[in-house]
Amino acid sequence: MRGLSLNILLAIVWTLFVGEFSLRELAIGVLLGFAILSIFPLSLGTGGYVRRTLALVRFGLFFVRELTVANVQVALWALLPHPPLHPMIIAYPLRLRGDNAQTVLAATITLMPGSVAMGFNPERTVLYAHTIGLGTVPEARASLKKVEDALLPLYGQGAVQSGPLEDTA
Protein backbone atom coordinates (compact mmCIF):
# COMPACT_ATOMS: atom_id res chain seq x y z
CA MET A 1 0.00 0.00 0.00
CA ARG A 2 2.90 2.31 0.84
CA GLY A 3 4.38 1.87 -2.63
CA LEU A 4 1.06 2.56 -4.38
CA SER A 5 0.32 5.71 -2.36
CA LEU A 6 3.87 7.01 -2.95
CA ASN A 7 3.45 6.36 -6.67
CA ILE A 8 0.15 8.28 -6.79
CA LEU A 9 1.63 11.11 -4.71
CA LEU A 10 4.61 11.42 -7.09
CA ALA A 11 2.22 11.48 -10.07
CA ILE A 12 0.24 14.35 -8.49
CA VAL A 13 3.49 16.20 -7.74
CA TRP A 14 4.47 15.78 -11.40
CA THR A 15 1.17 17.28 -12.64
CA LEU A 16 1.75 20.22 -10.27
CA PHE A 17 5.22 20.78 -11.78
CA VAL A 18 3.91 20.59 -15.33
CA GLY A 19 0.98 22.82 -14.37
CA GLU A 20 -1.49 20.79 -16.39
CA PHE A 21 -3.84 18.24 -14.84
CA SER A 22 -4.78 15.75 -17.55
CA LEU A 23 -4.95 11.99 -17.96
CA ARG A 24 -1.86 12.12 -20.14
CA GLU A 25 0.31 14.03 -17.66
CA LEU A 26 -0.98 11.85 -14.82
CA ALA A 27 0.08 8.73 -16.75
CA ILE A 28 3.55 10.20 -17.38
CA GLY A 29 3.74 11.04 -13.67
CA VAL A 30 2.86 7.49 -12.68
CA LEU A 31 5.59 6.11 -14.96
CA LEU A 32 8.23 8.57 -13.71
CA GLY A 33 7.20 7.92 -10.11
CA PHE A 34 7.48 4.18 -10.70
CA ALA A 35 10.98 4.67 -12.08
CA ILE A 36 11.97 6.55 -8.90
CA LEU A 37 10.47 3.84 -6.69
CA SER A 38 12.36 1.10 -8.53
CA ILE A 39 15.68 3.00 -8.43
CA PHE A 40 15.52 3.55 -4.63
CA PRO A 41 13.70 0.45 -3.32
CA LEU A 42 15.80 0.18 -0.13
CA SER A 43 15.51 3.73 1.17
CA LEU A 44 11.82 3.99 0.23
CA GLY A 45 10.87 0.44 1.26
CA THR A 46 9.04 -0.19 -2.01
CA GLY A 47 10.79 -3.37 -3.20
CA GLY A 48 7.67 -5.51 -2.79
CA TYR A 49 5.48 -3.00 -4.63
CA VAL A 50 7.90 -2.79 -7.56
CA ARG A 51 8.16 -6.58 -7.76
CA ARG A 52 4.39 -7.06 -7.68
CA THR A 53 3.79 -4.35 -10.29
CA LEU A 54 6.35 -5.89 -12.64
CA ALA A 55 4.72 -9.30 -12.08
CA LEU A 56 1.37 -7.70 -13.00
CA VAL A 57 2.82 -6.27 -16.21
CA ARG A 58 4.39 -9.63 -17.07
CA PHE A 59 1.06 -11.35 -16.40
CA GLY A 60 -0.71 -8.78 -18.61
CA LEU A 61 1.62 -9.55 -21.53
CA PHE A 62 1.18 -13.31 -20.99
CA PHE A 63 -2.60 -12.80 -20.85
CA VAL A 64 -2.79 -10.82 -24.10
CA ARG A 65 -0.59 -13.34 -25.93
CA GLU A 66 -2.55 -16.38 -24.74
CA LEU A 67 -5.90 -14.66 -25.38
CA THR A 68 -4.84 -14.04 -28.98
CA VAL A 69 -3.72 -17.67 -29.40
CA ALA A 70 -7.01 -18.89 -27.89
CA ASN A 71 -9.08 -16.76 -30.24
CA VAL A 72 -7.23 -17.72 -33.42
CA GLN A 73 -7.53 -21.37 -32.36
CA VAL A 74 -11.29 -21.32 -31.64
CA ALA A 75 -11.96 -19.22 -34.76
CA LEU A 76 -10.10 -21.82 -36.81
CA TRP A 77 -12.10 -24.67 -35.25
CA ALA A 78 -15.34 -22.84 -35.92
CA LEU A 79 -14.44 -22.74 -39.63
CA LEU A 80 -12.81 -26.20 -40.07
CA PRO A 81 -15.07 -28.96 -41.40
CA HIS A 82 -14.04 -31.46 -38.68
CA PRO A 83 -12.51 -29.60 -35.75
CA PRO A 84 -10.37 -31.82 -33.43
CA LEU A 85 -12.32 -30.87 -30.31
CA HIS A 86 -11.80 -33.95 -28.11
CA PRO A 87 -13.85 -32.51 -25.20
CA MET A 88 -13.03 -33.56 -21.61
CA ILE A 89 -13.80 -32.40 -18.09
CA ILE A 90 -10.63 -32.40 -16.01
CA ALA A 91 -9.91 -31.88 -12.34
CA TYR A 92 -7.01 -29.54 -11.59
CA PRO A 93 -5.49 -29.61 -8.06
CA LEU A 94 -4.95 -25.98 -7.09
CA ARG A 95 -1.84 -24.49 -5.50
CA LEU A 96 -3.36 -20.98 -5.34
CA ARG A 97 -5.30 -20.30 -2.14
CA GLY A 98 -7.74 -17.53 -1.30
CA ASP A 99 -11.01 -16.43 -2.90
CA ASN A 100 -9.56 -13.51 -4.88
CA ALA A 101 -6.70 -15.48 -6.37
CA GLN A 102 -8.94 -18.42 -7.30
CA THR A 103 -11.59 -16.15 -8.84
CA VAL A 104 -8.96 -14.50 -11.04
CA LEU A 105 -7.56 -17.91 -11.97
CA ALA A 106 -11.00 -19.25 -12.98
CA ALA A 107 -11.78 -16.14 -15.03
CA THR A 108 -8.37 -16.25 -16.74
CA ILE A 109 -8.63 -19.95 -17.55
CA THR A 110 -11.95 -19.31 -19.30
CA LEU A 111 -10.17 -16.90 -21.67
CA MET A 112 -7.11 -19.12 -22.22
CA PRO A 113 -6.71 -21.63 -25.09
CA GLY A 114 -8.94 -24.68 -24.77
CA SER A 115 -10.39 -24.37 -21.28
CA VAL A 116 -13.55 -23.07 -19.60
CA ALA A 117 -13.76 -23.12 -15.79
CA MET A 118 -16.82 -25.00 -14.51
CA GLY A 119 -16.59 -25.27 -10.75
CA PHE A 120 -14.65 -25.93 -7.55
CA ASN A 121 -14.96 -28.72 -5.03
CA PRO A 122 -16.50 -27.64 -1.69
CA GLU A 123 -13.03 -27.46 -0.06
CA ARG A 124 -11.81 -25.12 -2.84
CA THR A 125 -8.76 -27.25 -3.53
CA VAL A 126 -9.68 -28.53 -7.00
CA LEU A 127 -10.80 -26.61 -10.08
CA TYR A 128 -12.94 -28.39 -12.66
CA ALA A 129 -12.62 -27.24 -16.26
CA HIS A 130 -14.14 -28.22 -19.59
CA THR A 131 -11.38 -28.46 -22.18
CA ILE A 132 -11.35 -28.82 -25.96
CA GLY A 133 -8.38 -29.52 -28.20
CA LEU A 134 -5.90 -29.98 -25.37
CA GLY A 135 -4.97 -33.62 -26.07
CA THR A 136 -4.52 -35.98 -23.13
CA VAL A 137 -5.42 -35.23 -19.50
CA PRO A 138 -1.78 -34.55 -18.40
CA GLU A 139 -1.36 -32.15 -21.33
CA ALA A 140 -4.55 -30.31 -20.35
CA ARG A 141 -3.37 -30.07 -16.72
CA ALA A 142 -0.01 -28.71 -17.90
CA SER A 143 -1.85 -26.05 -19.88
CA LEU A 144 -3.77 -24.92 -16.76
CA LYS A 145 -0.55 -25.07 -14.74
CA LYS A 146 1.02 -22.53 -17.11
CA VAL A 147 -1.74 -20.04 -16.25
CA GLU A 148 -1.43 -20.72 -12.52
CA ASP A 149 2.36 -20.28 -12.71
CA ALA A 150 1.88 -16.88 -14.33
CA LEU A 151 -0.51 -15.85 -11.51
CA LEU A 152 1.53 -17.16 -8.56
CA PRO A 153 4.00 -14.21 -8.36
CA LEU A 154 1.06 -11.80 -8.09
CA TYR A 155 -0.32 -13.36 -4.93
CA GLY A 156 2.93 -14.12 -3.10
CA GLN A 157 3.87 -17.02 -0.86
CA GLY A 158 0.78 -16.73 1.36
CA ALA A 159 -1.45 -17.88 -1.47
CA VAL A 160 0.66 -20.90 -2.38
CA GLN A 161 0.02 -24.42 -1.19
CA SER A 162 2.37 -27.19 -2.23
CA GLY A 163 0.17 -29.98 -3.48
CA PRO A 164 0.34 -33.28 -5.32
CA LEU A 165 1.26 -31.94 -8.74
CA GLU A 166 3.88 -34.49 -9.73
CA ASP A 167 1.63 -36.11 -12.31
CA THR A 168 1.38 -32.87 -14.29
CA ALA A 169 5.10 -32.64 -15.07
Q: Please name the residue ranges forming H helices in the chain.
A: 2-18, 23-39, 41-44, 47-79, 99-111, 137-155
Q: Which stretch binds another protein (CB under 8 A): 28-36, 43-51, 67-75, 144-152?
A: 67-75
Question: Which residues touch 28 (CB under 8 Å, ≥6 apart)?
Answer: 14
Q: Are 150 and 62 in contact (CB under 8 A)?
A: yes
**Minimal distance in Å, beta carbon 40 to another protein?**
30
Compare residues 44 and 63 and give the one whose CB is closer to another protein: 63
Q: Which stretch binds another protein (CB under 8 A): 32-40, 42-50, 124-132, 159-167?
A: 124-132
Compute the Cα dihedral for 121, 125, 130, 135 and give only its sign. negative
The reply to whether 124 sits near another protein by the rule CB under 8 A is: no
The reply to whether 31 sits near another protein by the rule CB under 8 A is: no
How far apart CA 30 and CA 7 sit, in angstroms, is: 6
Compare residues 58 and 65 and give the one whose CB is closer to another protein: 65
How far apart CA 115 and CA 128 sit, in angstroms, is: 10
User: Could you give the string, one character per residue 83-112, with x where binding to another protein holds by CB under 8 A and - elsewhere?
Assistant: x-xxxxxxx--------------xxx-xx-
Compare residues 35 and 72 and give the one whose CB is closer to another protein: 72
The reply to whether 145 sits near another protein by the rule CB under 8 A is: no
Question: Which residues touch 86 (CB under 8 Å, ≥6 apart)?
Answer: 132, 133, 134, 135
The reply to whether 74 sits near another protein by the rule CB under 8 A is: yes
Site for another protein, rule CB under 8 A: 22-24, 67-68, 70-71, 74-75, 77-79, 83, 85-91, 106-108, 110-111, 114, 116-119, 122, 128, 130, 132, 136-137
